Amino acid sequence: MSFLETFGALTLIYILVRLATFIYQILCPLRVDIKKFGEWALITGSTDGIGKAYAIELAKRDFNVILISRTKEKLEQVAKEIQTKYSNTQVKIISIDFTKDNSIYSRIREEIHGIDIGVLINNVGISYEYPESFDKVEENEKFLNNMIRCNVDSVANLTQIILPDMIKKRRGLIVNISSISGRRPTPLLGLYSGTKGFIDLFSRSLAAECISRGVYIQSLCPGYVVSKLSGIRKASLIAPTPEKFVVSALDRITLPFTTGYWTHEIQEFIQSLLPEFLSNKIAMHVLSGVRAKALKKRNKGQ
Ligand SMILES: NC(=O)c1ccc[n+]([C@@H]2O[C@H](COP(=O)([O-])OP(=O)(O)OC[C@H]3O[C@@H](n4cnc5c(N)ncnc54)[C@H](OP(=O)(O)O)[C@@H]3O)[C@@H](O)[C@H]2O)c1
């Protein structure tokens, strides 16, 4: 075989492997019965958006649910909504602000002591008010602490609290919600992208450690979903409602990494083919536009 023939054959193999992986990700042929993981599911950030949709969908699938979020009134409202729909479901609420110091984890530990948690959804997360250069973000120090505590510390600490029991029982599922922005650099959302990058690598590493011990761990990296955080109000092919997104993501729990939704899978695949300098240029252009629009709207409101 000549050098060119060898190069061509290797390129073809690479393309076929990438395509096969992409098709596997979309179809996810391996399914498991989620109910076998345990009696209770714990969801952080469960009073809005994706977290609320997980709480309602898991209650529908016969889990008792522990809801953790910041605002007590909203927690009570979601608990009531779940119990009205699914009267046999037990709901426990814990009001916690994840931007506070690490003492919150002792309280969570006490509150969930003795409960058989089979599913943990580490969903809570905050982002920028609008895209901005890291050095120009207002109240930079507070912003940095809050985002690392909420997006990074919450995932690592709750996993540390709940995983050992799952391993002992040789069953369980942990879904850690990263983002498509955690898969590669996202200029003007640098800190968010960095926190989500942590979640992605942390989860995929733990997934490899834990799969032989009966526990599934997933890095879930969505693209846009309708929510307060995304600022998208109307559902589309690219941005599904949280309810539609969660049903799709729950069909893919055996994948250590997934975007959770078929159009996001295509988006991730295309982005992964682009050289980094090009995807950075495109992201910078698009997010500068979003920034300019947000600032214009803000200035009008003042
Ligand atoms: N939506 C998207 O397009 C998208 C895309 C990729 C990844 N994600 C990720 O998905 C996750 C959920 O996003 P979302 O769009 O559903 O968000 P969302 O609609 O803004 O909901 C956020 C939830 O988190 C709670 N929360 C916020 N700050 C908190 C804090 N400091 N302490 C405790 N709870 C707090 C909120 O409770 P309160 O109501 O009490 O504030 C609310 O229940 C995030 O990790 C996000 O990064 C979202």
For the segment 54-94, what is each residue's pLDDT rounded down to a tens digit?
999 999 999 999 999 999 999 999 999 999 999 999 999 99
Q: What percent of the chain has pLDDT over 90?
A: 94
Does residue 1 surpass a pLDDT of 90? Answer: no
- Cα separation, 176 vs 241, in Å, equals 19
Q: What is the mean pLDDT of residues 152-176?
A: 98
Q: Check residue 225 and give its pLDDT.
A: 98
Q: What separation in Å is there between the alpha carbon of 20 and the centre of ligand 1?
A: 33
Residue 229 CA: which ligand 1 atom is closest? 20
- Cα separation, 52 vs 244, in Å, equals 12
> Helix %, strand %, coil % for the chain, to 5?
55, 15, 30
Q: Ligand 1 in contact with 69 (CB < 6 A)?
A: yes
* Closest C-alpha to 123, from 80, 166, 159, 90: 159
| Substitution site in 65, 69, 218 for ligand 1 pocket (most atoms within 8 Å of beta carbon) | 69
Assess contact for 187 and 283: CB atoms under 8 A.
yes
Q: What is the mean pLDDT of the chain?
A: 96
Q: Ligand 1 in contact with 47 (CB < 6 A)?
A: yes
Q: Check residue 160 and give its pLDDT.
A: 98
All domains in the chain, ordered by first residue? 31-296 (3.40.50.720)
* Closest C-alpha to 203, from 259, 271, 156: 156
* Closest C-alpha to 199, from 158, 249, 254, 250: 158
- Cα separation, 24 vs 33, in Å, equals 19
Q: Ligand 1 in contact with 48 (CB < 6 A)?
A: yes
**DSSP class per residue in 62-123:** T-EEEEEES-HHHHHHHHHHHHHH-TT--EEEEE--TTS-TTHHHHHHHHTTT--EEEEEE-
Q: Ligand 1 in contact with 240 (CB < 6 A)?
A: no
Q: Give, as one character, the DSSP assignment of residue 128.
A: -
For residue range 235-266, what is the model confidence (pLDDT) as tens digits?
999 999 999 999 999 999 999 999 999 999 99
Q: What separation in Å is there between the alpha carbon of 88 and the centre of ligand 1?
A: 27
Q: Check residue 40 and give its pLDDT.
A: 98
Q: What separation in Å is there between the alpha carbon of 242 and the centre of ligand 1?
A: 11
Does residue 97 surpass a pLDDT of 90? Answer: yes
Assess contact for 123 and 177: CB atoms under 8 A.
yes
Does residue 221 surpass a pLDDT of 80? Answer: yes
Q: What separation in Å is there between the alpha carbon of 247 and the centre of ligand 1?
A: 18
Does residue 140 surpass a pLDDT of 90? Answer: no
Question: Could you give the C-alpha distances from 287 to 10, 70, 268, in angstroms and in order?
Answer: 37, 29, 17
* Closest C-alpha to 177, from 108, 235, 249: 249
Q: Ligand 1 in contact with 51 (CB < 6 A)?
A: yes
Q: Check residue 301 and give its pLDDT.
A: 76
Assess contact for 61 and 85: CB atoms under 8 A.
no
Catalytic residues: 192
Question: Could you give the C-alpha distances from 143 to 14, 134, 179, in angstroms and in order?
Answer: 42, 10, 19
Q: Ligand 1 in contact with 82 (CB < 6 A)?
A: no
| Substitution site in 44, 70, 176 for ligand 1 pocket (most atoms within 8 Å of beta carbon) | 70
